[in-house]
Structure 1
Amino acid sequence: MLSVQLSSALAVGLIDAVGPAGTAWLRLSMGAVIFVAIARPPLRSLRRPEVPWILVLGVATGLMTVFFLAAIERIPLGTAVAVEFLGPLAVAAWRAHARSALAWPALAVVGVVLMTRPWTGEINTAGLAFAGLAGVGWATYILLTQRIGDRYAGTTGLSLTIPVAALTAAVAGIPQAHGHLSGQVLLTALGLALLMPVLPFVCEMVALRHMTPTAFGTLMALEPAFGVLLGAMVLHQTPAAFQLVGIALVVAAGAGAQRVGRRTPTDEPVVGSPPIAIGKEPTELVTRTTS
Structure 2
Amino acid sequence: MIAGAGCLSFSAIVVKLADVNAGTAAFLRCALALIALVPLAVRECRRHGRFEPWLVWCALTAGALLGLDYVMWTASVLDVGAGISTVLINVQVVIFPALARIFGGTPIRRRFLLTCPVMLAGIVLVGGALSHDPNAQHQVRGTLLGLAAGAAYAGYLYLNRLSGQRSPRHVVTPVCVATASAAAVAGLIGAATTGISLDLPVASWSWLVVLALVGQVAAFLLMAAAIPRLAPNTSASLLLLQPVLAVALGMIVVSETPAASQLVGCAVVVAAVWFAGRAPVMTAGGRGTTTTPPAPARRPA
For residues 92-148 of structure 1, the C-alpha deviation after alignment (integer angstroms, 9 at most, x for no partner) is 256344554212322211211222331347762211121011011112112211222
Tell me the distance in 2 between the aligned counterparts of 1:164 and 1:127: 24
Alignment check: 8 A CA contact 1:93 1:101 kept: no
Which residue is 2:82 aligned to? 77
Alignment check: 8 A CA contact 1:39 1:156 kept: yes
Of 201, 206, 216, the residue aligned with 1:197 is 216
Tell me the distance in 1 between the aligned counterparts of 2:156 and 2:270: 20
Q: Is the alpha carbon distance of 1:170 and 1:187 closer, same or farther for their aligned partners in structure 2, counting shifts above 3 Å?
A: same
Which residue is 1:24 aligned to? 26
Q: Is the alpha carbon distance of 1:224 and 1:199 closer, same or farther for their aligned partners in structure 2, counting shifts above 3 Å?
A: same
TM-align CA RMSD: 3.1
2:126 aligned with 1:119: no
Residues 27-36 or 85-94, more deviating: 85-94
Q: How many residues align?
A: 257
Residues 102-111 or 166-175, more deviating: 166-175
For residues 158-216 of structure 1, the C-alpha deviation after alignment (integer angstroms, 9 at most, x for no partner) is 1221111112111134572235345544333111112212333466589x6xx976766
Of 160, 180, 197, the residue aligned with 1:178 is 197
Alignment check: 8 A CA contact 1:26 1:186 kept: no
Alignment check: 8 A CA contact 2:59 2:175 kept: no
For residues 241-286 of structure 1, the C-alpha deviation after alignment (integer angstroms, 9 at most, x for no partner) is 32222212211222233346xxxxxxxxxxxxxxxxxx9xxxxxxx
Please identify runs of 4+ aligned residues in structure 1 that moved more than 6 A: 211-216
Which residue is 1:134 aligned to? 149
Alignment check: 8 A CA contact 1:88 1:142 kept: no
Tell me the distance in 2 between the aligned counterparts of 1:93 and 1:101: 10
Secondary structure of residue in 2 paired with 1:119: coil
Secondary structure of residue in 2 paired with 1:118: coil
Tell me the distance in 2 between the aligned counterparts of 1:84 and 1:31: 22
Secondary structure of residue in 1 paired with 2:80: coil
For residues 62-88 of structure 1, the C-alpha deviation after alignment (integer angstroms, 9 at most, x for no partner) is 111111101101002222122211123
Alignment check: 8 A CA contact 1:88 1:138 kept: no
Please, which runs of 5 or more residues in structure 2 have no aligned partner? Answer: 102-106, 280-293, 295-301
Which residue is 1:272 aligned to? none
2:74 aligned with 1:59: no
Aligned sequence identity (%):
25
Tell me the distance in 2 between the aligned counterparts of 1:86 and 1:179: 32
Q: Is the alpha carbon distance of 1:79 and 1:193 closer, same or farther for their aligned partners in structure 2, counting shifts above 3 Å?
A: same
Question: Scaled by the length of structure 1, what TM-score is found?
Answer: 0.76
Question: Scaled by the length of structure 2, what TM-score is found?
Answer: 0.73
Q: Is the alpha carbon distance of 1:7 and 1:100 closer, same or farther for their aligned partners in structure 2, counting shifts above 3 Å?
A: closer
Shift of 1:25: 0.6
For residues 205-234 of structure 1, the C-alpha deviation after alignment (integer angstroms, 9 at most, x for no partner) is 89x6xx976766544323221121111112
Secondary structure of residue in 2 paired with 1:111: helix
Secondary structure of residue in 2 paired with 1:232: helix
In structure 1, give the amino acid aligned to 2:67.
G
Which residue is 1:12 aligned to? 16
Alignment check: 8 A CA contact 1:32 1:159 kept: yes
Please say which structure displays the higher CA radius of gyration: 2
Alignment check: 8 A CA contact 2:127 2:262 kept: yes
Which residue is 1:287 aligned to? none
Q: Is the alpha carbon distance of 1:93 and 1:62 closer, same or farther for their aligned partners in structure 2, counting shifts above 3 Å?
A: closer
Alignment check: 8 A CA contact 1:32 1:166 kept: no
